Structure 1
């Protein structure tokens, strides 16, 4: 006779609990389906890519005098996912309205449903995040109505620019010396080769 041992149910974390969560460590957490998921430490290359992208995007924003700001790894994005389950991601780079960034100065830096969705989010792929970046986040960011999502993949040496259309993302892939084509940044002069040469 086999005896089944019931596993204790995981405690679900609400979005409000997530915003207030502190565990005396430097660990960053994402909230996925009501569960705290620790983010792994990035490699130096990953950090160099995100820093470079933030600078390139901010330079373009300033050149065009746009009311936007690019931010590296410090802003969360609340995403709808499932029924009653909270999810909040922390993209590697977020481009958002400067006024809305100012509204987050004295509270948790998470773009909730009361704010506009980010204009662009960027995820830099690492071996531990590949499936999440290509699949789960693609669905979540589309559900949040984020107009543009870049998947920067140093493993495959390509950049995928995903543009929202009728609730789904259309994808164009760029590699080597291809100039990225971005509806949000139509004049941007940037190639995967330059992105990965950090």
Structure 2
């Protein structure tokens, strides 16, 4: 995945339009194209959004789950702005409604999402597992879930297929990794019983 060399502010990013359908994240002032995900990537996003929504409705919670529809602003690094667009975001219903008439980006002075999911693509391993982990930790996001589902990475190396759940405890993420038929423990949805294989093989 390549980046443009143009440096923009957060305000410019919110209204940026290059005349194409390309969507971008903002990373330290640089526009990062969000490439069209593989079918499996989209299936996992859809599966999780649907699973979370079903659980939210069952428990009658005032939450919503949204697929690639909510941005999250990250504190500046070296005076350059960062804003992420997670694959799936769970947030308060009231917060989602407040985004209806403005850019759907959660600002630094607003409550962080309850849960964020990133489905790892070829070439985004370091960004998802390292950079975003640090950023979401700083923001105080309670649970960060990563799904590594690909057979091979961009270098042709076999991927360790797994689901990683990062839970914020006293300011730091505790990490739990699930593989195969292990049931994933998601603190946000403690009664939801999904195995790692169900996520990794969603849609197959």
TM-score, reference length from structure 1: 0.92
Matched, 1:123 2:127: no
Q: By how many angstroms is 1:81 displaced?
A: 4.1
1:68, 1:100 → 2: CA distance?
A: 9
- Once the two structures are TM-superposed, the CA of residue 183 in structure 1 deviates from its matched residue by 1.3
Q: CA deviation at 1:11?
A: 4.8
Partners in 2 of 1:27 and 1:168 — Cα distance? Answer: 34
| d(CA) in 2 for partners of 1:11, 1:160 | 33
Distance 2:187 2:47 in 1: 20
Residue segments in structure 2 that go unaligned for 5+ positions in a row:
151-159
CA contact (8 A) 1:177 1:193 kept: yes
Is the contact made by 1:123 and 1:133 (CA closer than 8 Å) also made in structure 2? yes
TM-superposed deviation, 1:114:
3.2
> What whole-Å deviation, never above 9, does each CA across 1:64-86 have from its counterpart, x for those lacking one?
11111000011111011424221
Larger mean CA deviation between 18-27 and 77-86 belongs to 77-86
Q: Identify the residue that residue 200 of structure 2 maps to in structure 1.
A: 196
For the pair shown, the structure with the greater C-alpha radius of gyration is 1
**CA offsets 1:46-77 (integer angstroms, 9 cap, x no match):** 00010001000111111111111000011111
Q: CA deviation at 1:167?
A: 2.3
Taking the TM superposition and a 5 Å limit, the aligned residue runs for 1:156-195 are 156-195=160-199
Give the gaps of 5 or more residues in structure 1.
1-9
Aligned-pair Cα RMSD in Å: 1.2
Could you tell me how far 1:20 is from its partner in structure 2?
Answer: 1.3
1:42 and 2:37 are equivalent in the alignment: yes
CA–CA separation in structure 1 for the residues paired with 2:131 and 2:38:
22
How many residue pairs are counted as aligned between the two chains? 189
